[in-house]
Amino acid sequence: MGRSEKKPTERLIVALDYPAWIDAEQLVRLLPEVEYFKVGLELYLASRGEAVARLRELGKKVFLDLKFHDIPNTVAQASVQAVAQGAAIFNVHAGGGRKMMEQAVQAARAKAAELGVATPLVIAVTVLTSFDEAGLQELGFAQGIEKSVENFARLAEGAGMDGVVASPREIGLIRAVCRPDFKIICPGVRPAWAAVNDQKRITTPREAIRQGADYLVVGRPITAAADPREAAQKVLEEIKEAL
């Protein structure tokens, strides 16, 4: 299915940043329209990995957001486990390098073929949306955010990755240098009516989709809302309008 053919409910990923599965499950059951949920480090560790299995039992798709970053063999073996657990999407840090990303993709495809399941999207993280220019320069990236994101995206595409995680602010430059079907997952998405929190490079769901994002990761604007289902429906309506 091409980018333009995806339904709004296939583009929203709700971030389950909770300290316990019981809290996350309550939220998931409040959002029947939402197909994708993100399991990050906090919930994955708190649930001892069971959150992935529980979501699948509820008929949901999982974005396993553990951002693998290690030597190539270790990341390849972690990728095998991500496929075995049934992740629909998982990610690695592009900063781990070409060889690490190549082996992650190869391992994921081999394991999916062995199990007879669809290969998950293997996505590379570029520059975290919590960074601004000053923060990135402290790490020695003097070339700045945009050039760093562009370099990481090109490297990821060359390594066979399916796409990248990037700020909505960098969608245009990624679309300009990568193939049309290269996926872009955008955290740092904040509706105009929601608090910014600790994100630095943000935009609204409507604008992110218009610029070319494939998936939007939204957490606290939905999970911390007085009425999470209403908030999710408002985000889905923005996506629909943008399409």
Which tens digits make up the pLDDT trace of 58-116?
Answer: 999 999 999 999 999 999 999 999 999 999 999 999 999 999 999 999 999 999 999 99
Q: How far apart are CA 243 and CA 236, in angstroms?
A: 11
Q: How far apart are CA 207 and CA 120, in angstroms?
A: 27
Q: How far apart are CA 16 and CA 137, in angstroms?
A: 30
Residue 128: the pLDDT is 87
Q: How far apart are CA 95 and CA 126, in angstroms?
A: 7
pTM: 0.92
Residue 149 above 80 pLDDT?
yes
Residue 44 above 50 pLDDT?
yes
Is 67 tagged catalytic? Answer: yes
The active-site residue out of 6, 38, 61, 67 is: 67
